[in-house]
A and B are shown apart, each in its own frame.
Chain A
Amino acid sequence: MKKAIAWFDDRLPIFSYMKKNLVEFKEPKNLNWMWTFGSLAGIALVIQILSGVFLAMHYKPDVNLAFDSIQQIMRNVDGGWIIRNMHAVGASFFFAVVYLHIGRGMYYGSYKAPREVMWWMGIILFFLMMATAFMGYVLPWGQMSYWGAKVITNLFSVIPFVGEDVVVWLWGGFNVGDPTLNRFYALHYLVPFIIVGVVILHIWAVHHKHSNNPTGKTLKKKTDFVPFHPYYTAKDTVGLSVYLIIFCFMLFFMPDYLGHTDNYIPANPIQTPPHIVPEWYFLPFYAILRAIPIKEIGVIAMGISIAILFVLPWLDRSKVVSGRYRPIFKWMFLVFVLNFFVLGWVGSKPPEGIYVLISRISTAVYFSYYLLLPFISKFEKTKPEHETL
């Protein structure tokens, strides 16, 4: 067996490559638990793809059959309800993990030199994930699927001159309908594999310049590192087991908690639901969209609210990488995160009365983080960084 592997590896060094990148790869030895979310995100992606492939074997992308086919999966396919709940709950957990992963990067300055390109790959991944999740949510063809698709695709109508045509082009008709569902299904199956590709680039970049670490310092000493296996395989397994406990709790005891009851009502183009709300993981951005009374500007603000992450490495001018040593940044970041929850909460509320005001204030707070950062980071007095690990 060994000989056969060596023979193969000599011709296509896939085994030594995997060994180098997944086993012997050197990681800083001081990574804390916040660093487990990277590998958890990878596992969440694999869970989505595997469960998704099995769902695809039974799902029917047809406006007259889609809703029924989900019920067929839940009732008549062996283990169908597990797979389906796993996929639905798994999407939420994927986002939760990725939000934590991004938050960790923002706090510990993982976006700073020399990791900007790695950071970009991450943002691209986030965009791709959002596109995939959005299209996936349309597939069950419930009320929220339909109306969510309608609201979000309609945003493209703000594009000057060609907006309306773009929307018709996206729909493949003059309304969200059968062609829309079909193409969303095709893309929902395709994009995850593009995600896999970008994940490889993302990890490649990480391995090229090494992982950041809680001190943010560039580590040079050999003793500062440990091989990925067994140290971080063991640590990430602990992270995974805790993740699986929470995941399985949701999966087996409250699989519909994170979803919307309206999505168990078949899509009805002539009956608008009282409140159209996206999935929880889109709510902060949805709140920004609605906070601004002019639709065009709202759409742009929503786009920028995420795209601004691309320039974050240059907005932050502090020489100190890790938030640990940055007393003002630390509190700014805390306010940013808390405000993000407020945005999410207000995004789930109808856009009326006090909620409008709250959404405007927290939209302002959201952007002020990025606007203040260049100045604060320049003048902030940082604490001395620890010398040794």
Chain B
Amino acid sequence: MKKIIFTLAVSLVFSASAFASSGNEVEKQEWSFNKLTANWEKDKIKRGYTVATQVCINCHSFKYVSHRNLMEVGFSEVEAMAMAATMDTKINKPLLSALEPTDAKDSFGKIPPDLSVINKAREGGADYVYAILTGYPEEIPIDFEGANYNTAFAGHNIAMPAPLSEDLIEYEDGTPATIEQMAHDVAYFLQWTAEPELLKRKKLGTYVLVYLFIFAILAILVNRRIWARLKK
């Protein structure tokens, strides 16, 4: 039985790694939200919000996000209301694009997807979104036929024209708006919109696991004690 269990365990590990499917050209980036102790960084959210609401929203909606949600990551109600006001909207209104689906279809042949949960809806998450946004090379293969060439997109033919360009927007905090910076900030923002509970979840999880480890040790000790009775 021991031998069998061992062989099983080894094969489990192998099959688990085989199950994890490989993506296309998506490089892993460093994300501060991967750290266990991280909190959502207000300035990064603000920058990502700026990109999202000045660039992406021209085509994409964020239907599960409203300005009120910003109050969960350190913005005051006054700030959130002011930000909503600059966009001519109300604090409780979802962030919707003004682009009509039919118009989008006419212009791009496709309807731009809602971006609220996009980081969960694509293999690679934030890395993938970053790769898409930075994946428009200056030189495209000569034999490419299609709308726009993208290194990360499956099939490389993407309907979205390169949305970012150097200094497309101006950051309030003076950060230079390079393509990489904007891509990073908006992908970070999208991680928050996709799973606002992410950091809370991991922190709570750490406590739960510590508690369960203690519980397991106690359970093991009690179990030993009880079974020791039989030996007497």
CB <8 Å contact, B8 and A337: yes
Decide if the interface of chain A is mainly helix, strand, loop or mixed.
Answer: helix
Question: B204 — which chain A residues lie within 8 A by C-beta?
Answer: 252
CB distance from A113 to the nearest CB of B (A): 23
Indicate with 1 or 0, residue by residue over A181-224, a CB within 8 angstroms of chain B CB atoms: 00000000000000000000000000000000000000000000
Indicate with 1 or 0, residue by residue over B202-222, a CB within 8 angstroms of chain A CB atoms: 101110110011011001101
CB distance from A89 to the nearest CB of B (A): 12
Question: A75 — which chain B residues lie within 8 A by C-beta?
Answer: 64, 196-197
**For the complex, is A262 an interface residue (Cβ under 8 Å from B)?**
yes
From the candidates A234, A238, A261, A341, name the one contacting B121 in the complex (CB within 8 A). Answer: A261
CB <8 Å contact, B223 and A238: yes
Contact A71/B117 with A231-B226, A238-B220, A242-B216 known, Cβ cut-off 8 Å: yes
CB distance from A106 to the nearest CB of B (A): 12
CB <8 Å contact, A231 and B227: yes
**For the complex, is B201 an interface residue (Cβ under 8 Å from A)?**
yes
A251, B222: Cα distance in complex, Å: 27
CB distance from A340 to the nearest CB of B (A): 10
CB distance from A111 to the nearest CB of B (A): 18
**For the complex, is B1 an interface residue (Cβ under 8 Å from A)?**
yes
- Categorize the interface residue count of chain B: 35 or more
CB <8 Å contact, A248 and B205: yes
**For the complex, is B42 an interface residue (Cβ under 8 Å from A)?**
no
CB <8 Å contact, A252 and B201: yes
**For the complex, is A175 an interface residue (Cβ under 8 Å from B)?**
no
CB <8 Å contact, B216 and A241: yes
Question: A249 — which chain B residues lie within 8 A by C-beta?
Answer: 205, 209
A334, B226: Cα distance in complex, Å: 34
Decide if the interface of chain B is mainly helix, strand, loop or mixed.
Answer: helix
CB <8 Å contact, A234 and B205: no
Question: A170 — which chain B residues lie within 8 A by C-beta?
Answer: none
Question: B15 — which chain A residues lie within 8 A by C-beta?
Answer: 341-342, 344-345
From the candidates B12, B113, B213, B216, name the one contacting A238 in the complex (CB within 8 A). Answer: B216
**For the complex, is A150 an interface residue (Cβ under 8 Å from B)?**
no
CB distance from B3 to the nearest CB of A (A): 8
A341, B122: Cα distance in complex, Å: 26
From the candidates A107, A234, A256, A324, name the one contacting B226 in the complex (CB within 8 A). Answer: A234
**For the complex, is B7 an interface residue (Cβ under 8 Å from A)?**
yes
Contact A324/B1 with A241-B215, A252-B204 known, Cβ cut-off 8 Å: yes
A29, B226: Cα distance in complex, Å: 12
Contact A253/B205 with A244-B212, A261-B121, A264-B117 known, Cβ cut-off 8 Å: yes
**For the complex, is B123 an interface residue (Cβ under 8 Å from A)?**
yes
**For the complex, is B120 an interface residue (Cβ under 8 Å from A)?**
yes
From the candidates A226, A240, A245, A345, name the one contacting B230 in the complex (CB within 8 A). Answer: A226
CB <8 Å contact, B209 and A245: yes
Contact A261/B230 with A75-B64, A248-B209 known, Cβ cut-off 8 Å: no
Question: A330 — which chain B residues lie within 8 A by C-beta?
Answer: 4
Interface residues of A in 221-237 (CB under 8 A from B): 226, 230-231, 234-235, 237
CB distance from B157 to the nearest CB of A (A): 14
Most buried by A among B19, B122, B213: B19
Interface residues of A in 251-268 (CB under 8 A from B): 251-253, 255-256, 261-262, 264-265
**For the complex, is A310 an interface residue (Cβ under 8 Å from B)?**
no
Contact A241/B1 with A249-B205, A280-B19, A345-B19 known, Cβ cut-off 8 Å: no
From the candidates B8, B19, B64, B120, name the one contacting A256 in the complex (CB within 8 A). Answer: B120
A237, B226: Cα distance in complex, Å: 12
Question: B222 — which chain A residues lie within 8 A by C-beta?
Answer: 234, 237
Most buried by A among B12, B113, B197: B197
Contact A262/B121 with A238-B219, A253-B202 known, Cβ cut-off 8 Å: yes
Chain A residues with a Cβ under 8 A of chain B: 29, 68, 71, 74-75, 81, 107, 226, 230-231, 234-235, 237-238, 240-242, 244-245, 248-249, 251-253, 255-256, 261-262, 264-265, 274, 280, 324, 330, 333-334, 337-338, 341-342, 344-345, 348
Q: Provide 20 A-B residue pairs closer than 8 Å at the C-beta atoms, listed in order of the A residue.
A: A230-B226, A234-B227, A237-B222, A241-B215, A245-B209, A245-B212, A248-B205, A249-B205, A252-B202, A252-B208, A252-B209, A253-B202, A261-B121, A261-B123, A264-B120, A264-B121, A265-B113, A265-B121, A330-B4, A338-B7
